Amino acid sequence: MSYYVIYDGNCNLCVTLVQLLENLDQGKLFIYIPMQDKQISQWKITPADCEMGMILIDANAPDERRWQGSDAAEEIGRLLPMGSIFVDTYRALPGLKWVGDKFYEQIRDNRYTIFGKRTSTYKSQFCTTGSCH
């Protein structure tokens, strides 16, 4: 089973988090594709969709199982070893999910101002096709 992580390859924070995830996962579960790659159109992802944050797609059911924004971040965390314990606890605490969603939106909407923008798009070594490299 694998998942596509669609991330902003021009965002310093996003790239740092993808690199951390790459080191943890080593391409076993996640495949990373920058939002700037034309390949994302195969999943009917538009530029407007990308403005709403990162996207996680189940490679085995791409039309039925996808998450976006803070929900994608939570699902990635849940899929990591021992991650479900932390994510389930986070989701169960009253009000914490709402706060997390709002925090994610603020970071998403101000990511270039706060963390800076890369001069070139980061392309992961764990990508699906030659279009990412």
Delimit the domains of the chain by residue range. Answer: 3-132
Neighbours of 64 (CB within 10 A): 8
129 pLDDT more than 70? no
Q: Is 119 left (phi over 0), alpha (psi -120 to 50) or beta?
A: alpha
63 pLDDT more than 80? yes
Residue 29 phi, psi dihedral angles, 5° rounding: -120, -35
68-122 pLDDT per residue, tens:
999 999 999 999 988 889 999 998 999 999 999 999 999 999 999 999 999 999 9
Look at 9-18, 82-91, 120-129 and tell me which has the smallest mean pLDDT: 120-129
Question: pLDDT band at residue 128, thresholds of 50, 70 and 90?
Answer: low
Judge whether 31 and 5 are in contact, CB under 8 Å. Answer: yes
DSSP letter at 49?
H
What whole-number distance in Å separates Cα of residue 106 and Cα of residue 109?
5
Per-residue pLDDT, 125: 85
Question: pLDDT band at residue 126, thresholds of 50, 70 and 90?
Answer: confident
Per-residue pLDDT, 43: 93
Judge whether 35 and 124 are in contact, CB under 8 Å. Answer: no
